[in-house]
Amino acid sequence: MKTYTITKNILCAALTCVVISLSLTGCSDEEQKTEPAKTAFNPFDHSKDEPVTPQEKHKFEDAFAAQCVARELKNSTNPEVDKERFAKPCQCIANYMVKDLTDEEAEKYLDEHENPRSLQIKYNSAAFHCTQPKGLDKGFKSYQAPEPKPKEGFFSKLF
């Protein structure tokens, strides 16, 4: 079995490496950086977006409601009757979606004729809101036993 002895050359090389590594990490720039730190991109932050004009909102609302009715009438067997029936929920969905419409979404829908994923999510939420029966808003009622009738006394039966 061979034993290793530390020679002067290995010891000098190790000390030199330690001194160089410590001196390099201690160095820094004399000048301080004045650039502010950039914030990461947040796709859900719409505070810096341009506001959507009322004219664009109205155009979007009309175009989306017309597209919704056309989509529903595609599989209809009686389009004349169903057109009136589908107009009200489709208009409700379009009104609900316009409330938090961004400028980019309106531009993509109206100008580029695209449906971004954010519009699909808003559509699902609006469809759920507009097509639910109004009685379900109060919540689920649990079963309650009928109230017992008050016991009548002997004299109340006679008179």
pLDDT confidence of 136, banded at 50, 70, 90? very low
Burial of 87 (C-beta count, 10 Å sphere; 0-12/13-18/19+): middle
Q: For the whole model, what pTM was predicted? A: 0.54
With a cut of 50, say whether residue 137 has pLDDT above it. Answer: no
CB 95 within 8 A of CB 66: no
Q: Whole-angstrom Cα distance, residue 95 to residue 88? A: 11
Specify the higher pLDDT residue, 132 or 41.
132
Q: Whole-angstrom Cα distance, residue 67 to residue 91? A: 11
Determine the pLDDT at residue 96: 92
Domain ranges of the chain: 54-133
Using alpha carbons, select from 133, 103, 105 the residue that is nearest to residue 121: 105
Q: What DSSP assignment string belongs to 74-135?
A: TT-S-HHHHHHHHHHHHHHHHHHHHTT--HHHHHHHHTS----HHHHHHHHHHHHHHHS-GG
Using alpha carbons, select from 10, 109, 9 the residue that is nearest to residue 66: 109
* SS3 label, residue 73: helix
pLDDT, mean of residues 95-121: 86
Determine the pLDDT at residue 159: 59
Determine the pLDDT at residue 157: 66
Least trusted range by pLDDT, from 51-55, 64-68, 113-117:
51-55
- Structure tokens belonging to residue 27: 């160095």
